[in-house]
Every structure is written in structure tokens, then in C-alpha cells.
Amino acid sequence: MKLKLLTVSLLGVSTHAFAYPVTVVASAPITGQVVPALTSIEATLGEILTTDTEIGSAITQASDKNTAVLSEGFQAQRQTDAFGRETDRLEKARASFSVPDSICSESASGVASQVGSSSAAMQSSLSSGSGISNSAIKTAVSSVPVLPAQEDYRSAAIHAKYCTSEEYAQYGGTELCQATSSLPGGDTEVRSVLQGAGSVGKTPDLTFTDDQVDAAMAYLRNSSKHSVGRTLGKGEIKTASGWRYQGLMTQYKSIQNAAMQPQLEMIADSKPNSDTKEALAESLENASAKSYYNDTASAEAQSSGEMSNREFESFEVGRRYANTEYETDLQQMDGDNLMRELIRVQSLSNWIQLGVKNEIRESNIIAGQALALTADKTYGPKMESLMSQISGGVAK
């Protein structure tokens, strides 16, 4: 208890005031009222503190739970976003760098140059008689020139193999037409070279059988390889006239060879080419290419697994341009794969245009030779007449 100072004024004793210390040892109001109230307040405050502590703990725990839930949610979202970005990157990588399902059929065009070279090599073989199964046709194509009359007999004998129904009605049963041929008119109709010999109304063939090759070569011989004179013997060719005759024959052969070349190329391009076999086997692993092959491939190609150069090029173009299932493949392509396919198509177009350019050049060569023959017919007689005048001394 604090000490309080009490001041007592003693009147009449002294005029001065004195302060004395006093100790208060008890107080009824404090003890009876204030202290119990303070005790009650203290207890209440303790309870409030306890309650606040519990509330704070509960709030803290709830906050921790919310924080954990939010953290898990954010983490899950981050993982989802990361997975989505990774999936997107993988998909873009797949579209850009993955090997498409159609890669096998795309690889077929890689052997185009090799197939073309093999086809060109067949031309010289055919012109020498190699690759012709019919002995009479082989002899007619490969032998040296004989008398025109002898060539005529050969043509008639060969045609007996290609007798038509109309001819059989006229002279059937004779040596020149024992029966109607399965390849009627094969040696006289140009379709033997363009579409393959066969019965009337048959679908065109781009890969020829051996019999169709023989018929095409017979047509080539009848239409372009004519005989204008026989080949001279050793004794005949030693004379001055023999030399001149041989010179004319050499000139004629050069023109005749050019006349035969377009047909020879077409026939060689129509023969089965072994270089296409591996490429076709790979391309048929693609569903859309196989579907087009089953619908359009020639009987010879389907039986042997080999196509001609003509049919191979037609297959490469048609399986894209004329194949609805390829359109489905195209719709599934995107990104770099789609761009690659466009490049392949353009490359194929460029290859075909190059072939057209080469054929135009060949046609121009033949046209030039035809022009030279026309010039010979026009100027040759005039110059020969003048030369006769000069030799006779009557030139003016």
C-alpha cells in the first residue's frame, strides 16, 4: 500500500504546517468491491484470451487448409498446363518430323530415273530383235534389207497370225488365215503400239504381254521399216555403182531409223520393267495406293508384280490425281508433311514436263528430217538436170 501524506493544521498552536507520513493498511471499498470486480474481470479476460487463442488457432488451421488446397489446385493447374504445352510441342514435332504412313508409296517416285534408263536400253534391244518372241517377226525386224517383193511375202506370212473376222469371212481356212486371231489386226492397227493389241473393245493396256510386244513390233515393221532394195554382196559392192548404191542405202537407213524411233520408244516403255518391282512392293503397303492399284493396274502388272515405264508413270500420277482415298490421306496431313507432299507433287509434274520437252525435241528432229526429204524432192531433180547440162557442155 502506498504511503500518503496527511497535513494537519493546528490552529492556535503554530502558524506553520507540518506533513507527516501515514500508512494505510486497509480499505473496505477496495477490498470489498474493487478487488472482487478486478478478479472477475481478470477471469473473464482469461476466458476471452483462451477463446481468442482457440479462434486464432482455428482460423490458422483453416487458412493452412485453404492454402494447401489452393496450392494443390495451382500445382495441378501448372501440371496440366505443362502437360498441354508438352503435348502441343510433341504434336508439332510429330507433324514436322515424323514419318507419314504414306512414305512407302512416296518412295516409288525415287526410282523413276532408273526405270527410264532401263526402258531406254530396251529400245536398242528391240531394234536388234532381242525381246521379240515370234521368230518370223524377229527375222523381219533384225535382218538386213532384202528385195521389196521378199519383204511383201514376209508381211503376208506374219499377218496370218493376226487375221481379223472380216478377213476370215473372205479367205478363212487358207494358209494366210487359218482362224480368227485373239489379237486381230495386231500388225496393221496403231492401237497395238498405243494401247496393246487385243480384241475389239478391250480396255487399254499400258504394260504389254510378250504377244502384245510382238504385235507392236510387227506394226512398226509394216508402217516404218520398209525395204527399198536388197543388201549387195561382196562382189557387187566393190564396183563404182555398188559404192553409190551403198551410200544411198546408208542415207535411207538413217531416215528410216528416225521414223521408227517414236514407235520404238513407245513399245520399249510398254514392256514390263524389273526396276519397278521393288518400288511397287513398297508403295502397295500404303492403303490408298493399293486401292488405286487394284482398280487400275494391268493384268500383266498384277500377275508379274512389274509395270512398264508408261504404266509406272501413269500410276504415280493417277494415284494422286484420280484417287479419292488419296484425298483422305491429304486431309490428314498438316504442317511440314503437307508442304513435303506439295513439293513431291510439283517434282512429279516437273519430271513429266521434262519428258514432254524431250519428246518435243525428238519430234522436231524428225520434222527436220522430213523437211530435208521435201527439199531433196524439190531441188534434187532441178540440180540433176543442170548437172546433166554441165556435163554435156551445154551450160549457158
The answer to whether the beta carbons of residues 300 and 272 sit under 8 Å apart is yes
* Three-class DSSP category at 130: coil
The answer to whether the beta carbons of residues 120 and 273 sit under 8 Å apart is no
Instruction: Summarize pLDDT for 170-199 with one digit per residue, the tens.
Output: 999 999 999 999 999 999 999 999 999 999
Look at residue 140 and tell me whether its pLDDT is greater than 90: yes
Identify which of 112-121, 182-191, 334-343 has the greatest average pLDDT. Answer: 182-191
pLDDT at position 24 is 62
pLDDT at position 394 is 52
The predicted model gives 309-322 an average pLDDT of 84
Region for 120 from its dihedrals, namely left if φ exceeds 0, alpha if ψ lies in -120 to 50, beta otherwise: alpha
* Three-class DSSP category at 174: strand
Residue 147, all three cell numbers: 528385195
Question: CB atoms < 10 A from the CB of 154, how many?
Answer: 19
* Three-class DSSP category at 178: coil
Q: Which residues pair with 19 in a beta bridge?
A: 7
Could you give the percent of the chain with pLDDT greater than 70?
Answer: 83
DSSP strands (E only) in the chain: 3-8, 18-23
Instruction: Look up residue 196 and give its amino acid.
Output: G
The answer to whether the beta carbons of residues 219 and 189 sit under 8 Å apart is yes
Residue 221, all three cell numbers: 515393221
pLDDT at position 4 is 47
Please tell me the least confidently modeled range out of 4-13, 106-115, 193-202, 336-345. Answer: 4-13
CA distance 273 to 118: 7
Average pLDDT, the chain: 80
Instruction: Summarize pLDDT for 266-298 with one digit per residue, the tens.
Output: 999 999 999 888 888 888 888 888 888 998 899
pLDDT at position 281 is 84
The answer to whether the beta carbons of residues 288 and 319 sit under 8 Å apart is yes
* Backbone phi, psi, residue 307, to 5°: -115, 160
Pick the residue with more confidence: 330 or 157?
157
The answer to whether the beta carbons of residues 306 and 277 sit under 8 Å apart is yes
CA distance 70 to 65: 8
**Which H/E stretch holds residue 7?**
strand 3-8
Question: CB atoms < 10 A from the CB of 395, how many?
Answer: 10
How far apart, in Å, are the Cα atoms of 353 and each of 280, 347, 359?
23, 10, 10
The predicted model gives 39-54 an average pLDDT of 78
Pick the residue with more confidence: 71 or 254?
254
Instruction: Summarize pLDDT for 53-79 with one digit per residue, the tens.
Output: 878 777 777 777 777 777 777 777 777
The predicted model gives 88-100 an average pLDDT of 57
Residue 104, all three cell numbers: 512407302
C-alpha atoms less than 13 angstroms from C-alpha of 199 in its C-beta half-sphere:
3
